[in-house]
Structure 1
Amino acid sequence: MGRADEDGDAAVKLSLESLAGAFCGLVAVLGLILAIAGLMRRPAPASRRRGPLERKVRTLLGLDNPDSRRAWWAQDRTRVLGSVVVGIAVWPITGWLLGAVLVTVALLGLPWMLQPGKGAKNQIVRLEALEEWVRRLSSIHTAGASLESAVTASLRTVPKPIQEPVTHLSSRLKTGWPAARAYEAFADDLDDATADQVAALFKLHAQDRGSGLSTALEALAGSVAEQVRMRRQVEADRAKPRTNARWVTAFCLLIFGLAVMSGSYTEPYSSVMGQLVLVLLAVCFVGALLWMRSMAASRPTPRFLTGVDRTGSGEES
């Protein structure tokens, strides 16, 4: 009887140690996230343009515009709440606090893991919309309107993928931003080398106000259409490795889900060391995904209008 009591006390002690270790790991991760968020609250110099990851994090945290956070929450609320509920349900089943956290994070990142080419496809759609919008500007300007007036008039028919950047551009022009600065900020919103060409043409026209803008806009629209065609061809060539990456990811997630539900096979992960190994395996898995993505991705064409950050410009104006 005494031996049974000792074994029971040892099991309780081990369980408490595992829970404490998992809790400390969770606190460390949350502390790192808060530290990064704190660093991002510092105003960015106008000469430094924010990278895509920083802009995405700031959008999710609502550091630049609270409306962006509310829009993200309205769009992804169901997925976020569902991921949290599943993670909470996994905890009592497995007894892994960090495992529950990893399940929640995996569900939240499911679109990123299963749609490796989504960002490139969205950018192509935005460029197609930009080409259509530039052609409409050419027609409006031919009718005698100035470029600034043409931008405002185009708001009624602007394609949806670029509706927000064009609306911001029109608002900046109306509120007295220098035209050149407004066009640079427009290029930052679109964040593409092809969009820089459009903004550069707008800047040149703002400086000399010469004739022939309609012809230049029409020619530029044709150039954008050609670049869209080439990008679509490149994306078609990358479809096979991306499909392979998607299947590998789905298979690994399925195996992980089945392993979580098996009893004795995953018992070693219940200890503190097992939880740490579980986190290490998750990090290795994400690293492998990034490596597979890098094989199916190419370095984007460098932008040449990178001197003005949109938020910094607004603060300086």
Structure 2
Amino acid sequence: MASIPVVVPRIKLGSQGLEVSAQGLGCMGMTSFYGLAKPESNMIKLIHHAVNSGVTFLDTSDFYGPYRNEILIGKALKELGLREEVQVATKFGVTTRDGQVEIRGDPAYIRAACEASLIRLGVECIDLYYPHRVDTRVPIEVTMGELKKLVEEGKIKYIGLSEASANTIRRAHAVHPLTALQIEWSLWSRDLEADIVSCCRELGIGIVPYSPLGRGFFASGPELIQNLPEGDFRKKMPRFKPENLKHNKRVYEQLSTMASRKGCSPSQLALAWVHNQGNDVIPIPGTTKIENFNQNVGALSVKLTKEEMAELGSFGAADVVKGDRHGQMTFTWLNSETPPLSSWMSD
């Protein structure tokens, strides 16, 4: 198996000045969505281990819990004295009303959400702040305008978007330069490759892939689904439905065969494929176990040729995989267009 590098490289995320570790840590599963929240003390130890290993880019959101994830990160930063060593990225905008998910990007909400996140995280400034999803009722220029004010006030350092189309990215970037786009990208989630990647590179925006391990599938294969606890939302995801999983397991089988040839684990190979997309790509695999974290960091040591990249890419091509990548595709970049600014001003 590939060993953990002695030093995790630090690289620029985007062109606005933010420097982060070449791999981040997605913290969502520590408190929500993947079954019951994990013991707080264990998660703080994991965060400490991550930072000591050189992974200093921590990703959270006020929706994870909700709120518990940010509180956890805040406690870890305080107890371990890590604030100066880490780059904290958090998100706002996903809420619930009467049991239904609602996306909000209006100025009043943004400001209130930011103030609350600062308190929960116990920081004076958020390093990278994203709208978790795009509010399609509010012109993106309005959302960005409020975020720009928060930058000017010193409450956030850099602005990102999550799950946004190329057109939405361009409109947002025209108001204030974006540092990063967070979006799903893995061997079997490739829809952003059509025009979003080229748009980000044209504008100097870094790309932060979430779920680079196919929500754990490339680490565990089909057995993942059998072992999921109650409450784990992956049970409802289209690709993991029995009729699709029967077909999609072939992706993992091919990945495993190639991993044996390369002398690494399937998860390391899948993660290395994402890393090798470019030095502007910083994946944020999540985990709740130190041994899995170590495996993920080991992916930085896996070297791939152009031929191997192409071979890997063929395993999860769009015409091969069955089922959408998300249970609710409404909340992806495919539906992130917002009204023109003129419509808001006329109101």
Q: Normalising by structure 2, report the TM-score.
A: 0.24
- Larger Rg belongs to: 1
Query: Larger strand proportion, structure 1 or 2?
Result: 2
Higher RCO (CA < 8 A, seq sep 6+) = 1
Q: Normalising by structure 1, report the TM-score.
A: 0.26
